Structure 1
Amino acid sequence: MVLALLWFAFLLLFNSSALVDSLNGEGFTLLSFKQSIIEDPEGALINWNYTDENPCSWNGITCREDRVVSLSIPKKRLVGLLDPVLGSLTALRHVNLRNNKLYGSLPVKIFEAQGLQSLVLYGNSLYGSIPPEIGQLRYLQTLDLSQNFLNGSIPTSLLQCKRLRTLGLSENYLTGSLPDGFGTSLIALEKLNLSFNGLNGSIPSDMGNLSSLQGTVDLSHNHFTGPIPENLGKLPEKVYIDLSHNNLSGSIPQNGALVNRGPTAFVGNTGLCGPPLKIPCSPDASSPSSFPYIPTNYLPLAPDSAAGKSGKARGLSKRAIIAIVASDMVAICLIGLLFSYCYWRVCACGKDKDADDANFMKSWKRRKECLCFRKDESETMSENVEQCDLVPLDMQVGFDLDELLKASAFVLGKSGIGIVYKVVLEDGLTLAVRRLGEGGSQRFKEFQTEVEAIGKLRHLNIVTLRAYYWSIDEKLLIYDYIPNGNLSTALHGKAGMISFTPLSWPIRLRIMKGIAKGLAYLHEFSPKKYVHGDLKPTNILLGQNMEPHISDFGLGRLANIAGGSPTLQSNRMTSEKPYQQQNASSEVASVSPTMNSASCYQAPEAPKSVKPSQKWDVYSYGVILLEMISGRPPVVQVGTTEMDLVGWIQLCIEEKKPLWDVVDPFFARESDKEEEMVGVLKIALACVQTNPEKRPSMRHVCDALYRLTSSVG
């Protein structure tokens, strides 16, 4: 009997070994890639296992003659390293892992798969430089590394990829100039997007040789300098060349593809002049003027044009003077009647000024009808006083003012900077509309400049401002609606919440990285290197997949221009209730009623400073990190006294308390993440240094976070 059992066990072991050995080498290679993935929330790799003969039936795998030629797993929220083992798949032709959460550097060994024709890693969290070994991919046709953390320069070796048709490197941290010979080497290019980087130097004159380009050639939001090369006009005329927001200078060439382009292709370059911009170029003294009437070519006045035939000036007759006076009196009376009528219309609508906030859209429509003039009613009204129209800031805005007026609106929250509404249009599109104060009618141009600059910011981790409305009576800002509330509520819950599940450590870490990435963009890669100045958990909104979106950027200044609202400095001292929750009147967390929680995010030097600094944002971000690590509100009760969170953490360190007394008790079940938590705690403490000069930049914080998770993961 014992022998029979031993024999059965031997057979079972033998068969199991046979099953394991049945998988071919490429299958084992892919399983190594699977092991580098630490999160697979959608089960994209669930059928990748050892029991198959080969991987050709696995999700995302395509084979030809039993050899793996394609790995395509986009938008599956995979979290992990990009394993270099993929380079050993010698028949591999296509890799598409876009819109996942892969981190780490681009492994050199992946370029050993020299038959690669497409490498699409768009929308991940890869960092480091692009290895020069990329030049080994002589058959590469598509390279899309957009929306990552890549830095360094574009390697010259990329020019060896002469079959390249699509090159996407936008929204990274790339610097340096374009390699010499860019336009003569990559002549097969059809799509080119280098926007939102830190590229500098001049635009290569040979780029006009890229005759296969199609659609939009996007070089915007970089630091390119010098003149626009005339050779760029040799590109196909259907190509739209976006050169906005660089440091280009000189006149805009008027030839080929550069002719008949709107000003948006060139805005943000203070040194550019000439059409289509409304900035005239300084005329060259050595060249003839292009204007037909300058002082030197005016015709002399004819004698009769200045005097009568007798050579004496003729005065006005008494009858003419009486007629002029009478007509002036009539005109004054008409103007008085017009103003009386307008005043009556405004007063008749005054009742609506105190309309219920919940009925805002209806009351706003009535007030708009009262206060706004059509052009045929008052052609002379200055645009500085009244606009009365919805101004889109994005080509994707597909709604107008009438649709907004017909929409359903719900109050989401109130603060010292106005009321925020959730607005649902008839087609189901949901928006967030912030209603600013009244007044400021003479500052429209100033408001317009500010709001249009903010509207140009485009980043995955910053709430997008889509449109605005300005009138004497109303100022509105229309944003994307972010559905999952704000970070404060996600961390602490809110009063009256029956059940509350704290955020897991991986989700918190993802939020930390996203906030850092958004701030780094504002500080270093936005057109004006902005400062947020009022960062706190209530204005970090969470999207569908809990990705963070920084909101309320520039809001203090806009509210101040709009009239009657607090300045940015006072706003920082006012705790705003979360506006992305239906019950906007609920408190965010049980913090001390005596210590102002909003002031805890404020850098120590801020009250003494006039001009906001990027180091303010770094400090605020550090406090938010501490709040996310500890799970505690910004004001901590210690016995009978109160401390701000930074002081409490420093006290815990001085008393040498164990890590698990500091971190959120919910993390007790995630003890394997201790090394990551300690690393994040160190980054947070660096951010909240009292001396602003000792705080790191947000770009360095980003790099540190990604290095930490890659080394631990």
Structure 2
Amino acid sequence: MERSYVFVFLCVSVLCLILSQPARSEDDSQPLLALKSSIDVLHKLPWRQGTDVCTWAGVRDCFNGRVRKLVLEHSNLTGSLDSKILNRLNQLRVLSFKGNSLSGQVPDLSALINLKSIFLSSNNFSGEFPSSLALLHRVKVIVLSQNHISGDIPASLLNLRRLYILYLEDNAFTGSIPRFNQTSLRYLNVSNNRLSGEIPVTAALIRFNASSFSGNAGLCGESIHQPCKNGSVSLAPSISPSHPLVPGGTAPASNRAKLVKIIGGCVGGVVFIVVCMVVVWAICRKRKTRGGAAGSGGGGGGDGGDSNKEGGFAWEGEGLGKLVFCGGGDREMSYSLEDLLKASAETLGRGIIGSTYKAVMESGFIVTVKRLKDARYPGLEEFRAHIHVLGRLTHPNLVPLRAYFQAKEERLLVYDYFPNGSLFSLIHGSKTSGGGKPLHWTSCLKIAEDLATGLLYIHQNPGMTHGNLKSSNVLLGSDFESCLTDYGLSTFLNPESMDEPSATSLFYRAPECRNFQRSLTQPADVYSFGVLVLELLTGKTPFQDLVQTYGSDIPRWVRSVREEETESGDDPASGNEASEEKLQALLNIAMACVSLVPENRPTMREVLKMIKDARGEAHVSSNSSDHSPGRWSDTVQSFPREEHQSI
């Protein structure tokens, strides 16, 4: 009997031991190898069974053998994609097969519920638009350009509330354009298809100009300056000679009288129009003569005097210059300088670089306008060259520069308007004292990753820096993603006439760059990033030099601040061991960034990797972020790395 008890006890113990072992999730090597065998007939992909899948070519982001970003571009891949294989890669965030020779229909990807970006451009795909994409609510970027896809653009795309980029140009789409109304939609191109009908007038579509819709002969609407016909053209009924409307003898005479009246009316109308044109020409010539005499002191360059009217952007004088759009193509907006000058303006803030305004045009379209403080520094050519570089930067974590305006005494920069406010407002509310509450640790990690991603993209351009990183220069997007603004503008600071910066702006800066005569560096941006992370963790604006004040005691200070919030009943942490580990990881990153020795600071690539490692572990070890009131939407970098190389 005792032996049977012992046997049962041993069985139960072994079973408990087996159940207590963490389940090992199968890696993605098998579906990737199946994918290779189906589309890599030339054996361009050097994938081998038995090696770490996270090191394979084209795998750009990977955690515990599960692929998050797969980028197989310009790899001479052929054949068709198998939906059964791809749907096994259910941790994918980014999928790119750009620049291959893949054919057939775009596969059903409905099982890739984490997918955020898909790039299938420059292939030979055919069939209709893949309806499964409209079911993936996290999708932000869809690029299907330069294929042979036909049929309608489905209205179900309106369900993608986070849609940021939609490129469908150079296909064979027919039908009308859906009434896109997502405020997140920043880039759209449906040119060179077979679309028809009126381009809908929505807040999302009105921002795009004719280049986004060109090459579709059947389209009409305000965006392409092509008025639409009513479609109810009335044709006069034909009159048969065998059924005259009047008695036979009177018809010819009556027709002659009508003809004389018609000819007389036409001649009179033409004479009246000619007289009106002569009068208008005379008036315009007289005004032009007066304007030329009044502006003759401007030296022919146009007087851009600073006679700004309160509540708007307007200048007297002629030859103001023009509004130059940055990036070209689909990035060019459908508003003019005249629209901008008529806009009502509301001051959003002032700084050492210039003043920022919210400009509301008569059409209701809103932009952010930054008026630079010094319109003569640097020189015109240097200014234009630098603006063109900034205008070509395109990233989900950057506020895009749309256009600039240059006149004799005015320089304006036009950006997208972000109605959700700034990171400073999120942390501190309406307080100008800079006292706020620490954010939940999941929010801190998410914001830190957004900022590091955007900053790394800036740093990938040789010599480029942000130069003015602080919480008020971080805006919140439509999905509450963090987006950097005011990047690269420190070049426009005239060291000879620059105002003293505020205390907060000063202490975001690295110690070696607080003398504004010194040129800014990428390690200095890393220092500012570290200070910003400490602000996230504590809710305190840096009114003093944190490193000089607290030194090696910064971690103790951070914990004491967060403990105060815990005691006050507003716990910014989850109170478990996992949260403590994540807080410590983020604190260690911040401490590395604020090293007093620039050479000892990590690069932004290293910083981003550390943050992603911490976030990846957080997703595995804790699900508190799914229920936290401080949870932010999980938006990761949406582009393959090649999309963000230096320019």
* TM-score calculated relative to the size of structure 2: 0.51
Alignment partners' CA distance in 2, 1:708 and 1:113: 29
1:691 and 2:597 aligned: yes
Deviation for aligned residue 1:115? 9.6
Question: Is 2:307 the partner of 1:359?
Answer: no
What secondary structure sits across from 1:353 in the alignment? coil
2:416 maps to a residue whose letter is D
Contact 1:131-1:155 at 8 Å conserved across structures: no
Alpha-carbon shift at residue 651 of structure 1 (Å): 4.7
Q: Describe the superposition over 1:114-152 as per-residue Cα deviations: whole angstroms up to 9, x where unpaired.
A: 699x9xxxxxxxxxx9987899xxxxxxx9999999899
1:604 has 2:511 as partner: yes
Is structure 2 residue 559 aligned with structure 1 residue 660? yes
Q: Deviations over 1:444-482 (max 9, x none)?
A: 332221111101101111110011111113211100112
1:542, 1:664 → 2: CA distance? 28
Do residues 555 (structure 1) and 489 (structure 2) align? yes
Equivalent residue for 1:391, pick from 325, 332, 335: 325
Alignment of 1:215 onto 2:145: yes
Q: Secondary structure at the match of 2:357?
A: strand
Name the stretch that deviates more: 613-622 or 145-154: 145-154
Distance 1:663 1:354, change over 3 A: same
Residue 530 (str. 1) matches residue 464 (str. 2): yes
Moved more, 152-161 or 451-460: 152-161
Specify the alignment match of 2:540 in structure 1: 632
Name the CA distance, whole Å, in 2 between partners of 1:156 and 1:360. 48
Q: What residue number does 1:644 align with?
A: 545
> Which whole-Å deviations, capped at 9, do the CAs of 1:576-630 have from their partners, x for residues lacking one?
xxxxxxxxxxxxxxxxxxxx22221111222578442210111110111112112
Which residue of the partner structure matches residue 454 of structure 2? 518
Aligned-pair CA distance for 1:649: 4.1
Q: Is the 8 A contact 2:59 2:70 kept in 1?
A: no
- Equivalent of 2:527, from 595, 604, 619? 619
Structure 2, gaps ≥5 residues long: 1-21, 39-44, 52-57, 87-92, 108-116, 127-143, 148-168, 173-210, 212-288, 620-647
Contact 2:340 2:361 in 1 (8 A): yes
| Change in 2 beyond 3 A, CA 1:152/1:487 | closer
Task: Name which of 534, 555, 574 aligns with 2:501.
Answer: 574
Which residue of the partner structure matches residue 163 of structure 1? Answer: 80
Matching residue of 1:477: 413
**Displacement, 1:545?**
3.5
Q: Deviations over 1:353-403 (max 9, x none)?
A: 3545x4232xx1x42xx131xxxxxxxxxxxxx633443544241211222
TM-score by structure 1 length? 0.46
Equivalent pair of 1:418/1:435 in contact (CA under 8 Å):
yes
Once residues 345 and 682 of structure 1 are traced to their aligned partners in structure 2, the CA distance between those partners, rounded to angstroms, is: 58
The CA distance in 2 between the partners of 1:156 and 1:388, in whole Å, is 39
In structure 1, give the amino acid aligned to 2:537.
I
Alignment CA distance shift 1:500-1:440 (3 Å):
closer
Summarize the alignment of residues 346-425 of structure 1 with structure 2, pairs less than 5 Å apart.
353-355=306-308, 358-361=310-313, 364=314, 366-367=315-316, 370-372=317-319, 387-394=321-328, 395-396=330-331, 397-425=333-361
Counterpart in 1 of 2:394? 458
SS at match of 2:368: strand
Is 1:710 matched up with 2:646?
Answer: no
Q: Deviations over 1:519-566 (max 9, x none)?
A: 011112x4x452112211221122233321111112222x34xxxx55
CA distance in 2, matches of 1:183, 1:239: 16
Which residue identity does 2:501 align to in structure 1? T
Q: Give the letter for the 1:603 counterpart.
A: A
Partner of 1:222: none
Residues in 1 aligned to 2:49 and 2:539: alpha-carbon distance in whole angstroms = 44
Q: 1:683/1:162 Cα in 2 relative to 1: closer, same or farther (>3 Å)? A: same
Say whether the 8 Å CA contact 2:304–2:407 is kept in structure 1: no
Q: Secondary structure at the match of 2:79?
A: coil
1:469, 1:84 → 2: CA distance? 58
Aligned position for 1:246: none
- Please tell me the residue identity of whatever aligns with 1:660: R
Instruction: Give the aligned partner of residue 108 of structure 1.
Output: 28
Q: Which amino acid letter does the alignment assign opposite residue 31 of structure 2?
A: F
Cα distance between partner residues in 2 of 1:530 and 1:174: 28
Change (3 A) 1:554 1:157: closer
State the distance in 2 between where 1:685 and 1:620 align: 11
Q: Which residue of 2 aligns with 1:261?
A: none
What per-residue deviation string (whole Å, max 9, x for no partner) do you get for residues 203-258 of structure 1?
xxxx99x66697349xxxxxxxxxxxxxxxxxxx9689xxxxxxxxxxxxxxxxxx
8 Å Cα contact 1:436-1:476 kept in structure 2: yes
Pick from 603, 606, 615 the counterpart of residue 700 of structure 1: 606
Structure 1 residues 704, 144: CA separation in 2 closer, same or farther (over 3 Å shift)? closer
1:544 and 2:478 are equivalent in the alignment = yes
1:630 and 1:442 map into 2 onto residues whose CA distance is 38
Give the superposition deviation at 1:570: 5.3
Q: Pick from 449, 454, 473: which aligns with 2:385?
A: 449
Residue 435 of structure 1 aligns to a residue in which SS? strand
Q: 1:134 to 1:432 in 2, by over 3 A?
A: farther
- Give the aligned residue type for 2:548: G
> Alignment partner of 2:358: what SS?
strand
C-alpha contact 2:73 2:100 (8 A) present in aligned 1 = no
* Structure 1 residue 414: Cα displacement: 1.7
8 A Cα contact 1:469 1:475, kept in partner: yes
Q: Write out per-residue CA displacement over residues 55-109 of structure 1, whole angstroms, 9 at most, x where no aligned residue.
A: xxxxxxxxxxxxxxxxxxxxxxxxxxxx996x7xxxxxxxxxxxxxxxxxxx527
SS of equivalent to 1:696? coil
Q: CA deviation at 1:704?
A: 0.5
Say how many residue pairs are matched. 399
> Contact between 1:133 and 1:157, CA under 8 Å: does it hold in 2?
no
Given residue 507 of structure 2, which amino acid in structure 1 is its aligned partner? C
After superposition, residues 197-208 of structure 1 pair within 5 angstroms as none
SS in 1 for 2:363: coil
Q: Return the alpha-carbon distance in structure 1 between the equivalents of residues 73 and 420 of structure 2.
A: 44
The reply on whether 1:343 has 2:277 as its aligned counterpart is no
Note the C-alpha offset of 1:410: 0.9
Q: Matched residues in 2 for 1:352 and 1:416: separation?
A: 21
Cα offset, 1:691, TM superposition: 1.4
Distance 1:651 1:339, change over 3 A: same
Contact 1:516 1:701 in 2 (8 A): yes
Structure 1 residues 471 and 675: CA distance shift in structure 2, 3 A: same
Matches within 5 A, 1:482-493: 482-493=418-429
Q: Contact between 1:543 and 1:549, CA under 8 Å: does it hold in 2?
A: yes
Name the CA distance, whole Å, in 1 between partners of 2:509 and 2:377: 32
Q: Distance in 1 between matches of 2:322 and 2:557?
A: 60
Q: Partner amino acid for 1:371?
A: E
SS state of the match for residue 322, structure 2?
coil
